[in-house]
Structure 1
Amino acid sequence: MAWLVLAGAILAEVVATTALKLSDGFAHKGWALAVVAGYGAAFILLAQALKLQMEMGTAYAVWAGAGTAAIAAIGVLFLGETLTLAKVAGIVLIIGGVLVLNLAGGTH
């Protein structure tokens, strides 16, 4: 159950970060509201995942790593950002770090 809650936290964070870009510095109030709601939901869900006995280091690494990889993909696929070899290498390193943390720990 903790992993499902964490997946919700990741989704909320990705939506909020995408809305942050689309808000144009909070000039578009609808997107600004989505930012606040999304980050609020992300932190509440992350807290709930931790309450369900997920290890903090693992939860945060997965949350941040998956969110970073998803945001990078959204930027390239939908927002016209470039994908360089350095960016791909960075994403691979993030995913590798998350895998190492999971192999070393996991949930209680």
Structure 2
Amino acid sequence: MADRSVWGCVGSNGSTIYSGTGFKVDRVGTGVYTVLFDVAFPQWPSVVATQMYPGNMSSTGGDTRDNAVVIAISTDRFRVTTGGSDGKQADRDFSFIAMGPAPAA
């Protein structure tokens, strides 16, 4: 079975996609985003997400508590929440990779 990946970099407003294809994003609340795959995986993919600071190469990074957490996964979408250094949900840019088997031909 062949592998498939969907990846992207998403802006904190949920409507800006800096890079990647094959998905759409819905910001459902403060710091909560649903990423919908254009084509569903036949099984749950493995999803990894992290907060990012796009274009800021002079930055030494954010607080380690600024983070992104994958809170739900299904074959056609996943949900991620992002937060600030106080541990509360906050709108943040994030990047992700979803990898799993490719749909049958």
TM-score between the two structures when normalised by the length of structure 2? 0.31
Higher relative contact order (CA 8 A, sep 6+): 2
TM-score between the two structures when normalised by the length of structure 1? 0.30
Larger radius of gyration: 1
Name whichever structure is richer in helix by fraction: 1
